[in-house]
């Protein structure tokens, strides 16, 4: 079967990573790409795919999820749909966890019933790891053997999704591959995330709509990967990842948030005053998160887009939005 013949389904396919994934799959010759979208327009994905390939679906609706999988019999399922904001999940602990588990279970049950040989990529998170008690606490990159110990309810939901995938692989031999992406950035990311929030504010300041740039904790060290590199890893894992296995994906480089902000400010000619906003701090933030990406590199992946190009693209994107 060639790429064009395969039936692809991307849940949450009109969202941030989803939209970049659709672009990347089209470039690789996949054409039979279905996406689910929940409560909103298909955005730029609407201009890439025929309307009949965009399915309005709330995956927490079990009956409709079963019906879609029965109808499509997908060969590859990228499961990206989830409530995604870490910052908010402390206020919505229950909704985040129950929702993400619910979607995951509905999808896996539908796969088990109608298309049990489909490969399923489950998107977890770097935040599944116990970043206090591991290599991370010692300033070392984090490999896949580090213990799990999520700090936020969001991260707990990602552990549950991830391990449900493993459980269905063990129990029903569904070829699930799990990925734990580290921070990734790009156009169309929600300003709930720091780099997008910085860019949005810089663009607003340039256009005289805002006077100060409000920031949260700038002392954290994060591993930023361009979303376009990230979705290439997702495709590679779908095509070549070992079923049942889990892979970290990230650039492997740590950047201080303060330095990222400085780089972005230098990309602007505006005078920018930075002020601290306590409301942007989390109950407990993790100081250091950098990937040990040797496992995914053995499959041939590496990050290709330098950070400064990503930041410039993101800033230009927000300038066009303002």
| Unique residue bearing structure tokens 């509905």 | 106
CB-CB contact of 250 with 290 (8 Å): yes
Query: Residue 149 interacts with a second copy (CB under 8 A)?
Result: yes
Euclidean distance between the first and the last CA atom of the chain, given in angstroms as a whole number = 44
Please list, in sequence order, all residues whose beta carbon lies within 8 angstroms of the beta carbon of residue 32, skipping any fewer than 6 positions away: 4, 5, 6, 7, 8
From 159, 213, 220, 290, residue interacting with a second copy (rule: CB under 8 A): 159
Q: Are 252 and 213 in contact (CB under 8 A)?
A: no
Structure tokens at 14: 């009109």
* Interface with a second copy (CB under 8 A), residue from 1, 138, 275, 284: 284
Cα–Cα distances in angstroms (integers) from residue 255 to residues 27, 262, 289, in the given order: 30, 11, 9
- The residue range among 15-23, 26-34, 96-104, 266-274 that interacts with a second copy, by the rule CB under 8 A, is 96-104
Going from the C-alpha of 204 to that of each of 138, 260, 276, the distances in angstroms are: 38, 18, 17
What does the per-residue mask of binding to a second copy show for 56-75, with x meaning CB under 8 A? ------x-------------
Q: Which of 156, 174, 199, 237 binds a second copy (CB under 8 A)?
A: 156
Q: Which of 79, 81, 69 is nearest to 7 (CA)?
A: 69
Q: Does 176 bind a second copy (CB under 8 A)?
A: no
Residues 217-246 that bind a second copy (CB under 8 A): none
Q: Smallest distance, Å, CB 143 to a second copy?
A: 12
In angstroms, give the least distance from the CB of 168 to a second copy: 9
Residue of 83, 163, 218, 243 interacting with a second copy (CB under 8 A): 163
Binding site for a second copy (CB under 8 A): 62, 90, 93-94, 97-98, 101-102, 105-106, 109, 130, 132, 145, 147-153, 155-156, 159-160, 163-164, 166-167, 170-172, 283-284
């Amino acid at each position: 079967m060639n790429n064009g013949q395969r039936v692809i389904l991307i849940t949450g396919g009109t969202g941030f990573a989803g939209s970049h994934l659709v672009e990347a799959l089209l470039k690789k010759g996949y054409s039979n790409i279905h996406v689910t979208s929940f409560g909103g327009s298909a955005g730029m994905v609407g201009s890439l795919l025929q309307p009949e390939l965009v399915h309005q679906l709330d995956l927490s609706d079990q009956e409709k999820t079963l019906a879609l999988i029965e109808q499509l019999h997908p060969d590859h399922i990228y499961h990206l749909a989830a409530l995604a904001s870490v910052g908010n999940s402390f206020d919505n602990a229950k909704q985040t966890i129950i929702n993400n588990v619910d979607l995951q279970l509905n999808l896996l049950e539908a796969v088990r019933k109608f298309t049990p040989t489909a490969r399923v990529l489950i998107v977890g998170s770097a935040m599944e790891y116990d970043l206090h008690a591991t290599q991370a606490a010692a300033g070392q990159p984090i490999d896949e053997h580090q213990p799990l110990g999520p700090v936020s309810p969001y991260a707990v939901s990602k552990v549950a999704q991830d391990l449900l995938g493993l459980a269905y692989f063990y129990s029903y031999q569904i070829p699930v591959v799990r990925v734990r992406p580290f921070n990734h950035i790009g156009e169309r990311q929600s300003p709930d995330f720091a780099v997008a929030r910085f860019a949005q504010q810089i663009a607003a300041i340039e256009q005289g709509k805002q006077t100060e740039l409000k920031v949260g904790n700038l002392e954290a060290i994060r591993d930023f990967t361009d979303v376009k590199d990230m979705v290439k890893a997702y495709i590679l894992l779908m095509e070549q990842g070992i079923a049942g296995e889990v892979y970290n994906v990230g650039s492997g480089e740590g950047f201080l948030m303060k330095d990222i902000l400085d780089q972005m400010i230098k990309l602007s000619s505006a005078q920018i005053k930075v002020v601290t906003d306590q409301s942007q701090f989390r109950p407990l933030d993790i100081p250091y998160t950098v990937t040990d990406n040797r496992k995914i590199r053995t499959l041939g992946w590496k990050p290709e887009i330098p950070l400064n190009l990503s930041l410039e693209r993101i800033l230009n994107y927000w300038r066009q939005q303002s």
